[in-house]
Amino acid sequence: MNMLRHYALALLLTLLSAPSLLAETIRDPASPTILLTGSNRGVGLALAQEYAARGWNVIATCRTPAKAKELQALADANPKVIIEKLDVTDVGQIGKLAEKYRGVPVDVLFNNAAWLGEPVSKQQFGNLDQDVFVEVMKTNAYGPLKLSEAFADNIAASQQKKIIGMTSGLGSLTLMGRMSRFYYYQMSKAALNMGMRAMRNDLQGRGIIVALLAPGMVDTDLLVASGYKGESLTPAESAASLYKLVAALTVDDKGMPVNVDGKPIPW
């Protein structure tokens, strides 16, 4: 009886320390894996499509999977794509997702999810709203840091070891005069830049690459809200260029914000 108890305990400990069996079933060990936030629309959806087309395992997250019809269609057509529910402002959800994928190598963590902050009028001088400010900062600045913290071991266990923060030229002090309608959004991207730079220093010893990339002027809700009338990229065009930038990253990368065209974004 004691021997049986010993074996049962050993088996339980083995199962608890092993990667999630469910997580392993959706992953092709021969292919690299990306964990992508904000995958239900815009550049996030285009990134999921781009990486799936290139044969990656794609863990595509969004707040409401049931409403993500295009993402569902992508997953239905590609067994390497799995959709996970994740609100990056919910620390509990982040913890549960990290536990589910414990021990599973993640080559690229792409922190794409962001919120413009609506209505935009509530982040403009004369009508500043604290609740909108808090939600924008939680989504755009704190969420990426917390998710990166939760999946740092997964990243370190992978071949590529890359964490990406989706920044924006709107977070640049140098360029801020071009558009100053989005106080909170602009502040959140500046905060993301600083947080990712600090995290880069902490993770360098583990061989982890932390980079800041911007999608460029993409035909999305933000562009419409900004009133921009110039040339723009489609989400697919932006995603294709971002893929190449991520692929080219090395440990020698300086960690400075870089636009989708490969040009540095001035601070």
Report how far residue 213's alpha carbon sits from residue 195's, in angstroms, rounded to the nearest whole number. 14
Query: Which residue pairs from 17-24 have beta carbons closer than 8 angstroms and sit at least 24 positions apart in sequence?
Result: 17/103, 18/103, 19/101, 19/102, 19/103, 19/104, 20/99, 20/100, 20/101, 20/102, 20/103, 20/104, 22/100, 23/100, 23/101, 23/102, 23/104, 24/104
Please tell me the predicted confidence (pLDDT) of residue 27.
Answer: 66
Instruction: Give the pLDDT score at 108.
Output: 98
pLDDT in tens, 140-187: 999 999 999 999 999 999 999 999 999 999 888 888 765 667 899 999
Q: Where along the chain do its domains lie?
A: 32-258
Reported as a single tens digit per residue, the pLDDT across 80-108 is 999 999 999 999 999 999 999 999 999 99
Q: What is the mean pLDDT of residues 224-237?
A: 77
Q: What's the pTM value of the predicted model, to 2 decimals?
A: 0.88
Given CATH 3.40.50.970, say whether it is the number of domain 32-258: no
pLDDT of residue 5: 52
231's tokens: 């040339």
Alpha-helical runs (H) found in 54-182: 69-77, 91-100, 130-137, 143-150, 152-156
Residue from 237, 7, 218, 229 nearest 114 by CA:
218
What does the pLDDT look like over 236-250, one tens digit per residue?
Answer: 999 999 999 999 999
pLDDT given at position 154: 98
Q: In this predicted model, what pLDDT tens digit does every residue of 12-61 receive, in sequence order? A: 444 444 555 445 555 688 899 999 999 999 999 999 999 999 999 999 99
Query: Residue 172's pLDDT is what?
Result: 87
